Structure 1
Amino acid sequence: MASPAPRPRLFVAVVPPDAVLADLDRATAALDALPGADRLRRTEAGGRHLTLAFLGPCDPARLDGLAERLARAAHRTAPFPLALRGAGRFGDRVLWARPDGDLTALGRLADRVRAAATRAGLPPDAEHAFRPHLTLARARPGQPVRLAPYTEALARLAAGPWQVTEVRLVRSVPPPGGVPGARPTYGTAGRWPLGG
């Protein structure tokens, strides 16, 4: 008996432009030479974003109300500059790039997006509090990697700057279970321009 297809998950994010993602690729190319790199799963370009609100699996009937509220939240926020400078880690599990620029505006946008989702009846997952970062790699399950040398190697990472001009609702489809090396797939389910 086949297992059911994984349910898509939704989140609202800021997605860097392609030129910034290319900067990031160049800045992180040397990581493959570090010890333990084969135990890291690098984030592909389609999965590189700064999550503002993780909503998880959602009732499709609520998405119209969510779209309307996200449009208002975006319109109330003026475009602002961001860049990626340096790196950090969550323990030895996740390696990430550090946002730099107008972090006050980024936090304000996250607050507005999270409030909009809550009013639409899709409150953000409480376990995924807003912590500004862009995931670069994750340790493979059961294969620990000491990430401190990676953050040191990326101390001078510089990607961008760019002007944040929109928010996106992103659909992430988890990979089917039991497929080694399978990764989630990402697609844009909606996008709204910032206004201010």
Structure 2
Amino acid sequence: MRVFVALRPSPTALEHLDSALEGVRGRAGRALHWGDPAQWHLTLAFRADLPGGALQDTVDQLAAVAAEHRPLPLQLSGAGVFSGRTLWIGVGGATEALSALMGETLLEGEDRERRRAHLSVARVSARAPRAPRRRRRGEARPPDPTQLLLADAVHALSVYRGPLWEASELEVVESVLGQGRSGGPLHEVLAVVPLG
């Protein structure tokens, strides 16, 4: 099973972000593929190969870790790009406490390479414009229009600050590739454990 541990922003925080993205979506056209707001979450840990029989032990271990951490006042804040392809929204608020939680082993056997806490909102689509490959000798390579579009989106969202919400529980979510909207992953919540 492909599973991850996530924090889900409040409905109010997600609605606020969805509204804030309207202008960026309009400028991006079909160059970016936007995620489904119903599936937006902050991934804290990921494991691509959890055996189905280990799920209950994993949930029990996660519950014990979560009990040691208090609920977190968080807000969606700022933006950035990973790998020149993924537009994300950052997290503000109790970031030190969030970092401490993310430093825990939340899933045995998890991939421990982690980036900062973030919420992925869009990825470069197959319809995105590409920079011309050919150029004359001595000419500078023209800028990649997709990278310019992503830089514009990050600039526009750099001042974004969503409403505070209290993250009070962790979700264990299964991700089934290719089964979601437009061939993306389908996420199913398998368990919820409280913080504190």
Give the TM-score range, shorter chain. Answer: 0.7 to 0.9
Q: Which residue of 2 aligns with 1:73?
A: 65
Structure 2: runs of 5 or more not aligned: 131-145
Aligned-pair CA distance for 1:159: 1.7
Contact 2:6/2:42 (8 A) holds in 1: yes
**Can you list the C-alpha shifts for 1:25-65, whole angstroms capped at 9, x where unaligned?**
1110111221x431211111232111110111320111111
Q: Which residue of 2 aligns with 1:26?
A: 19
Contact 1:51/1:130 (8 A) holds in 2: no
Aligned-pair CA distance for 1:141: 4.4
Q: Which residue of 2 aligns with 1:156?
A: 159
Amino acid at match of 1:182: G
Contact 2:30/2:125 (8 A) holds in 1: no
Normalising by the residue count of structure 2, what TM-score does the alignment of the two structures yield?
0.84
Count of paired positions:
178
Q: Is the partner of 2:84 in helix, strand or coil?
A: coil
Amino acid at match of 2:85: R
Superposition RMSD on alpha carbons, in Å? 2.0
Aligned-pair CA distance for 1:164: 1.0
Q: Distance in 2 between matches of 1:79 and 1:106?
A: 10
Aligned-pair CA distance for 1:153: 1.2
Aligned-pair CA distance for 1:111: 1.8
Contact 2:45/2:106 (8 A) holds in 1: no
**Can you list the C-alpha shifts for 1:144-174, whole angstroms capped at 9, x where unaligned?**
6221000011122222210110111011111
Q: Is the partner of 1:136 in helix, strand or coil?
A: strand
Query: What is the 5 A alignment of 1:123-142?
Result: 123-126=109-112, 128-141=113-126
Q: Is the partner of 2:184 in helix, strand or coil?
A: coil
Larger radius of gyration: 2
Q: Which residue of 2 aligns with 1:92?
A: 84
Q: Distance in 2 between matches of 1:81 and 1:141?
A: 37
- Residue of 3, 10, 27 corresponding to 2:3: 10
Structure 1: runs of 5 or more not aligned: 1-7
Change (3 A) 1:124 1:142: farther
Normalising by the residue count of structure 1, what TM-score does the alignment of the two structures yield?
0.84
Amino acid at match of 1:117: L
Change (3 A) 1:10 1:168: same
Q: Distance in 1 between matches of 2:77 and 2:181?
A: 33
